[in-house]
Chains A and B, each alone.
Chain A
Amino acid sequence: EAQVTQNPRYLITVTGKKLTVTCSQNMNHEYMSWYRQDPGLGLRQIYYSMNVEVTDKGDVPEGYKVSRKEKRNFPLILESPSPNQTSLYFCASSPGTSGPFNEQFFGPGTRLTVL
């Protein structure tokens, strides 16, 4: 089944404890992206990757890192999480090589709580 998977789905952690949220897609998509969703603010892009060679900041990259060592995986890293990073996170992928012109497929989401 074609899909985007994220792990974990739920995570409660404490301030300063490094964590990684994994994202994997099996559709051979070039483009991948991370968003966070907060009430009243919609989806805000954290980082995106046009392909394995190009990764760039989105609108809210502070406090996050990403890695795109292979096409299928795009992990999101929080080196020192803080309470303001408590949010619902979505990974998405798209087949386009020229940006998100095509449909983006979203993962199921990861709900992160930082205490």
Chain B
Amino acid sequence: QQPVQSPQAVILREGEDAVINCSSSKALYSVHWYRQKHGEAPVFLMILLKGGEQKGHEKISASFNEKKQQSSLYLTASQLSYSGTYFCGTDLYGNKLVFGAGTILRVKS
């Protein structure tokens, strides 16, 4: 039931782009994205709702393919501050989230 995230880790240079994928085996109500920096709590980035509505971050975008039960997070022109672990959370019934194992992103100068 846990969604599968890929890649597990990625290293970028400042200014490069990255895509993080999240795939579920079940139909999704919504997908949530969070970022966690080392030693800190997860912080909200984005929610993608069934039907296409999207709420979230200015410089980070995402897509949600309901038919394929997949979501992708797009980080463009990455900055050092983007480093951290990214988690997707899948919402099956509108009452709880199941998080993936996370994708470690490191941005180098």
Contacts and interface: CB of A to CB of B under 8 A. Distances in A.
B95 A48 contact: yes
Contacts of A58: 96
Interface size class on chain A is 20 to 34
Contacts of B100: 42
A99 B47 contact: no
B101 A42 contact: yes
Interface residues of B, number: 25
B96 to A, nearest CB: 5
Interface in A36-67: 40-45, 48, 50, 56, 58-59
B47 A59 contact: no
A108 B95 contact: no
A96 B75 CA distance: 27
Interface of A: 33, 35, 40-45, 48, 50, 56, 58-59, 90, 98-109
